[in-house]
Amino acid sequence: MIHELSGDLLLSKAHAIVHGIAPGDDWKTGLARALREACPALYKDFRHFCRQEAPKPGGLWAWEGVDPNGRHVRIVSLFTQEPPAHEGGHPGRAKTEHVNHALHELKKLAEREKFTSLALPRLATGVGGLEWQHVEPLVRAQLGPLPIPVFVYTRFQKGLAAVEPAAGHTTTR
């Protein structure tokens, strides 16, 4: 069940918040920066993971923790972009095949861990440089069949909590 929403993804009540990044990304812009600022431990653990595992585009990394307000959060980072050419460099562009593979991995994770809902932005369309018209069909194909609400935040509105429909409601669009 895919629901298109407007609002602030960081205020989502979804079981997991999903975003796209590059392996070894410094999380300096966009949603990644907002997540880094909201959950410093998330970024620290991500850096450690990248140094230990050398992840590749098309995979994912899942993290659970507590935000500064004491709220339990689960963040799933999808590796949709090419890694930076060097430490501290700018991440490469996203590729639809990376997005598709990462979404497939997300679908498997959501099924295995019995997620009750997901919230994500228009993946790979910011720093990643892809057009939503190319990414949206991948999101729908991979996540649409899940029996849980998938909230796609198509328009960012800082500080505004979107009304996220409960499971069993009809899909928008």
- What domains are defined for the chain? 2-156 (3.40.220.10)
Q: What is the pLDDT of residues 26-56, one digit of tens each?
A: 998 889 999 999 899 999 999 999 999 999 9
Instruction: Indicate the burial class of 68 (C-beta count within 10 angstroms; 0-12, 13-18, 19 or more).
Output: exposed
Amino acid at 136: E
Instruction: Summarize the confidence of residues 110-137 as an average pLDDT.
Output: 96
User: For residue 62, what is the enclosing H or E element?
Assistant: strand 60-66
Are 136 and 130 within 8 A, CB to CB?
Answer: no
Are 13 and 162 within 8 A, CB to CB?
Answer: no
Q: How many CB atoms lie within 10 A of CB 97?
A: 12
Reading the block at residue 115, the tokens are 């997620």
pLDDT band (50, 70, 90) for residue 170: very low
CA dihedral over 169, 35, 32, 116, signed as positive or negative? negative
Strand-pairing partners, residue 94, are: 81
Question: DSSP class of residue 57?
Answer: T
Question: DSSP class of residue 172?
Answer: P
Predicted model pTM: 0.91
Are 105 and 3 within 8 A, CB to CB?
Answer: no
Which of 40 and 173 is assigned the larger pLDDT?
40
pLDDT band (50, 70, 90) for residue 169: very low
